[in-house]
Each structure stands twice: as C-alpha cells, then as structure tokens.
C-alpha cells in the first residue's frame, strides 16, 4: 500500500517541530518513519525542502516539498510540491536490485531541478516502501533497499540514518488517519469528533477509525488497537492493515482461486473479464496469462461470486463502522474517477451501494464497455465485496470526499 502525500507532508512538518506522539511501547510512533535528523539544520530558515519517495506496489513516486517557516517553533506551511512517478514499482525488480535502484536515480534528477543547489546538503531524502516490498522474501527486499541507499549516499542530499526502509502497515493507516483529520480540522481544539479512513493500495488495504463505543473496544481483536498522544490529547485508534488484500493482490487471488477448478493450460479465466480477452499481466515481477470465460458465464453475479471468495470471513467486521463517517482514497478514488462517479479534481461523496451499482453496469456490459483496464469489472466488484462483505459496511454508508492521496 502507498503512503499518502498528505501524510508525508504532515509528518515532515510535525517531525520538524518535535511534536510528541507515541504508541505501542511508548516509543515515538513515527520513529523509523521520520526521524529528528530529517529536520532542516536551521529551522529558522525561511524556506525548507524535503524529498519523500513513496515506493508502492504499483510504482515509485517522488514528492519534493517546499515549506515556509514563518516563525521558529511553529509548523512550517506547505508552499508547494513537485510530483513525479515511474512504473513499475521496486518489487518488480526483485531479481534486479541495481536496475530497480536506477529508477530512483532518475527521479532524484527531479529533486535536483526543483531545489536550489545551495539547499541540497540540508535537504533530507527518504524512501519508505510499503506492501509491495513486504510481500517479497526478506533477503530480496533488503537487497533492493541496499541499492537504493547506495543511490542516496552518492546524492548531494542529506541522508538520515534510517532513510530507506519498509513501513509497517499499521503506520500507513495511522498516518492517513492523522493527516485526514488534521487537514479537515477534526484534530483542532483537541476534538474527538473524527472521521475514519479507508486506503486501498495495490498489495494491501487499511482501515482506521476512532471507536466511540466501549463495545467496539471490547470486541476488537488484540493488535487492532493503538493508543497514542498528540496535541495533548490521547487517541485510541482501531487500525489494521490487511496484506494481500490490495486491489492487485486481490486480482491475483481471484484468478488463482479458479485454478483449482480448471483452467485452459496456464491461462487464468474469469467471469469478470470479456469473453474475447487474451492478455498478459505482470504483478510482483511475475507474468501471468489471463482471459475471459469463453464458454462459461460472465457478468456481475458470477464475477461477484469469484471475488467474494477472497474476502468473505477473512476480515474483522467492527459493527461501529456502519454508523461512522469515512474518507476513502487511493484505488477507491481511481476506480470512481475511471467510471465518472466522481470528479478527478474535486473528488466527491459516494455511498457503498454506488460502487455496486457501477459494478453491475460495467460487468453486465463487458462486451460493449470500453476502458483503459480490462480488470475494471473485477476491480469494482472487489471493492464492493471488500466494503460490504469484508469490512461489513452497509449499502447506505457514506464515503465522504473520496480523494486522491497517492497517484
């Protein structure tokens, strides 16, 4: 799953004024994510810069931030951002770590062009990898990160001690929750009226919210609750990251589940795909052959039955989510934009049932529906199943301001 741009901005800023936030074993909860060494050497400088690489499962993104420090000790104000990206992600170079690191080298040129040379040595550069690398064998993930660290070491920028690492899935959820609630004003004046967050990446998905009922706290599995202090208030969050339940991992799980029921050679076939389709798909550095059901059923109902096997009974369903307010982003946003359910620039507000309605429309017209992705029917059906049968949201649950945090 990918780190949100808003979260990156917020934590860069917060880390520079040394806000005290802690969880788990009373350690600084962003320790290992944004260290104090990331703070500019002279916080009284009027203009500050920060470079953040988000190494997700589908691509690597660079965010070059410009901050204005109006007064020492206050939060810097984000003045601007330069964004660029490359595909595929680092995990696609699982057996070519040097080649993978070269994609990062190319993006570093964007930073050089965006930051005055006089600031290079005091501008921190950090790369945080998410679920794409968490799915790899540990030694191969470390090899990739080592090569990236070598690229950073040779760069003219400030390289913190732990500048290259894999982010824990729970931290992804917490970062998104803090960012959304801070930017929407929910954390101002120490209020506890907050919104939950739903993040859907390529390899993992996160759900995070602040429980309001004691019953939720009592029935929540161990490890799903995290307490931390921020702005002189204590927050006890429900947060969990489901590795392998991101959108692209779910595609593979859906297709893979069909293999035991018979496939045409090594080609995975699905009711979620057009009958005529014969194609190749690369995920995690592996190439897969896939296609539509040439003789079997196609359409929403058989497709939904396929994706349902991926989520049904495998995710915890806190009852409270049916009454809560949630913001959704990443692939929730992408697929909503792809099907004109929300505006690309402004985002929008949808109900869970809107995803099912659009999934039916697309899946039941596979032969006539044109799209940039042959997986659109499967993706919309999976999102519907994830929200309803996975997390337990009601059809009428409102997903507020679905917004782009990642792409």
Tens digit of pLDDT for each residue in 338-347? 999 998 888 8
The answer to whether residue 24 scores a pLDDT higher than 60 is: no
Q: Spell out the alpha helix ranges (H) of 186-273.
A: 214-219, 247-259
Average pLDDT score over residue span 350-373 = 88
Q: What is the Cα–Cα distance from 383 to 85, expressed in whole angstroms?
A: 25
- Quick one: pLDDT at residue 161? 83
Give 3-state DSSP helix, strand, coil % of the chain, rounded to 5: 35, 25, 35
**Does 394 carry a binding-site annotation?**
no
Q: State the pLDDT confidence band at 73, using cuts at 50, 70 and 90.
A: low
Q: State the pLDDT confidence band at 143, using cuts at 50, 70 and 90.
A: very high
Average pLDDT score over residue span 364-384 = 87
Q: What is the Cα–Cα distance from 197 to 248, expressed in whole angstroms?
A: 20
Tell me, yes or no, whether 232 and 195 share the same domain. Answer: yes
Q: What is the Cα–Cα distance from 241 to 170, expressed in whole angstroms?
A: 6
Tell me, yes or no, whether 71 and 150 share the same domain. Answer: yes
8-12, 317-321, 402-406: least confident range: 8-12
Q: What is the Cα–Cα distance from 185 to 198, expressed in whole angstroms?
A: 18
Tell me, yes or no, whether 337 and 232 share the same domain. Answer: yes
- Quick one: pLDDT at residue 12? 46
The answer to whether residue 192 scores a pLDDT higher than 80 is: no
**Does 328 carry a binding-site annotation?**
no
Host domain of residue 357? 170-247+302-401
Tell me, yes or no, whether 207 and 323 share the same domain. Answer: yes
Tell me, yes or no, whether 101 and 229 share the same domain. Answer: no
- Quick one: pLDDT at residue 249? 93
- Quick one: pLDDT at residue 40? 44
Among 114, 142, 167, identify where a domain stops. Answer: 167
The answer to whether residue 92 scores a pLDDT higher than 90 is: no
Domain assignment present for residue 261? The answer is no
The answer to whether residue 302 scores a pLDDT higher than 70 is: yes
**Does 204 carry a binding-site annotation?**
yes
% of the chain residues with pLDDT over 70: 80
Tell me, yes or no, whether 242 and 375 share the same domain. Answer: yes
3-state secondary structure of 29: coil
Q: State the pLDDT confidence band at 38, using cuts at 50, 70 and 90.
A: very low
Backbone torsions φ then ψ of 291, nearest 5 degrees: -170, 180
Q: What is the Cα–Cα distance from 103 to 285, expressed in whole angstroms?
A: 15
Average pLDDT score over residue span 315-337 = 92
Residues 6+ positions from 38 with CB-CB distance below 8 Å: 12, 15, 16, 50, 124, 126, 158, 160
- Among 126, 118, 110, smallest CA distance to 37 is for 126
Average pLDDT score over residue span 179-183 = 78
In whole numbers, what is the pLDDT of the chain averaged over residues? 82
| Contact (CB, 8 A) for 63 and 52 | yes
What CATH number should be reported for the domain holding residue 138? 3.30.420.40
The 10s digit of each residue's pLDDT in 213-248 is 999 999 999 899 988 777 667 888 999 999 999 999
Tell me, yes or no, whether 390 and 366 share the same domain. Answer: yes
The answer to whether residue 135 scores a pLDDT higher than 50 is: yes
Q: State the pLDDT confidence band at 190, using cuts at 50, 70 and 90.
A: low
The 10s digit of each residue's pLDDT in 114-132 is 999 999 999 999 998 877 7
| Contact (CB, 8 A) for 38 and 160 | yes
- Quick one: pLDDT at residue 357? 97
- Quick one: pLDDT at residue 31? 35
- Quick one: pLDDT at residue 231? 63
14-28, 75-89, 297-311: least confident range: 14-28
Domain assignment present for residue 25? The answer is no
Among 103, 132, 167, identify where a domain stops. Answer: 167
- Quick one: pLDDT at residue 47? 85
Tell me, yes or no, whether 80 and 156 share the same domain. Answer: yes
Domain assignment present for residue 38? The answer is no
**Does 96 carry a binding-site annotation?**
no
Domain assignment present for residue 63? The answer is yes
String of DSSP letters for 128-197: EE-HHHHTS-HHHHHHHHHHHHHHHHTSSSB--TT-EEEPPHHHHHHHHHHHHHHHTTTTGGG-----EE
The answer to whether residue 104 scores a pLDDT higher than 90 is: yes
Strand partners, 290: 268, 279
Number of structural domains (the chain) is 2
Give the catalytic positions in this structure: 172
Q: What is the Cα–Cα distance from 318 to 322, expressed in whole angstroms?
A: 8
Average pLDDT score over residue span 56-68 = 85
Tell me, yes or no, whether 240 and 353 share the same domain. Answer: yes
- Quick one: pLDDT at residue 20? 31
Strand order in the sheet with 278-283: 267-270, 286-292, 278-283
126-130, 294-298, 398-402: least confident range: 398-402
Average pLDDT score over residue span 242-260 = 84
Tell me, yes or no, whether 214 and 309 share the same domain. Answer: yes
**Does 400 carry a binding-site annotation?**
no
- Among 92, 173, 164, 98, smallest CA distance to 135 is for 92
Tell me, yes or no, whether 309 and 388 share the same domain. Answer: yes
Among 139, 167, 195, identify where a domain stops. Answer: 167
Token pair in block for residue 11: 């934590």
Instruction: Report how far apart, in Å, the C-alpha atoms of 280 and of each of 32, 160, 217 are.
Output: 38, 40, 45
Average pLDDT score over residue span 49-73 = 83
The structure's pTM equals 0.76
Average pLDDT score over residue span 276-300 = 86
Domain assignment present for residue 240? The answer is yes
What CATH number should be reported for the domain holding residue 349? 3.30.420.150
Q: What is the Cα–Cα distance from 228 to 214, expressed in whole angstroms?
A: 18
The answer to whether residue 8 scores a pLDDT higher than 90 is: no
Average pLDDT score over residue span 142-148 = 95
């Amino acid at each position: 799953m990918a780190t949100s741009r808003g979260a990156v901005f917020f934590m860069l800023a917060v880390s520079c004024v040394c806000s005290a936030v802690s969880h788990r074993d009373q350690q600084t909860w962003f320790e290992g994510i944004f260290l104090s060494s990331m703070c500019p050497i002279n916080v009284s400088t009027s203009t500050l810069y920060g470079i953040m690489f988000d190494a997700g499962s589908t691509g690597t993104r660079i965010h070059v931030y410009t901050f204005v420090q109006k007064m020492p000790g206050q939060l810097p104000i984000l003045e601007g951002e330069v964004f660029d990206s490359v595909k595929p992600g680092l995990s696609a170079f699982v057996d070519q770590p040097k080649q993978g690191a070269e994609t990062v080298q190319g993006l570093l040129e964007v930073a050089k062009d965006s930051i005055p040379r006089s600031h290079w040595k005091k501008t921190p550069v950090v790369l945080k990898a998410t679920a794409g690398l968490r799915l790899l064998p540990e030694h191969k993930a470390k090899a990739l990160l080592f090569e990236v660290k070598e690229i950073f070491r040779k760069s003219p920028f400030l390289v913190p001690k732990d500048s290259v690492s894999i982010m824990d899935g729970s931290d992804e959820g917490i970062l998104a929750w803090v960012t959304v609630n801070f930017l929407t004003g929910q954390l101002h004046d120490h209020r506890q009226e907050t919104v939950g967050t739903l993040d859907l990446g390529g390899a993992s998905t996160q759900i995070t919210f602040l429980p309001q009922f004691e019953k939720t706290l009592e029935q929540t599995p161990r490890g799903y609750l995290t307490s931390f202090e921020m702005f002189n208030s204590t927050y006890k969050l429900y947060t969990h990251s489901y590795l392998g339940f991101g959108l692209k991992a779910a595609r593979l799980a859906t297709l893979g589940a069909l293999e035991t029921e018979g496939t045409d050679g090594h080609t995975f076939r699905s009711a979620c795909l057009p009958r005529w389709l014969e194609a190749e798909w690369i995920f995690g550095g592996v190439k897969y052959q896939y296609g539509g059901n040439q003789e079997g059923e196609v359409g929403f109902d058989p497709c939904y039955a396929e994706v349902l096997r991926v989520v049904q009974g495998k995710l915890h369903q806190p009852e409270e989510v049916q009454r809560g307010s949630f913001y959704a982003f990443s692939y929730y946003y992408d697929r909503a934009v792809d099907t004109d359910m929300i505006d690309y620039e402004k985002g929008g507000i949808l109900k869970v049932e809107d995803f099912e309605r659009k999934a039916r429309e697309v899946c039941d017209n596979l032969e006539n529906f044109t799209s940039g992705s042959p997986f659109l029917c499967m993706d919309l059906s999976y999102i519907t199943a994830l929200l309803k049968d996975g997390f337990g949201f009601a059809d009428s649950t409102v997903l507020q301001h679905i917004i782009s945090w990642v792409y």
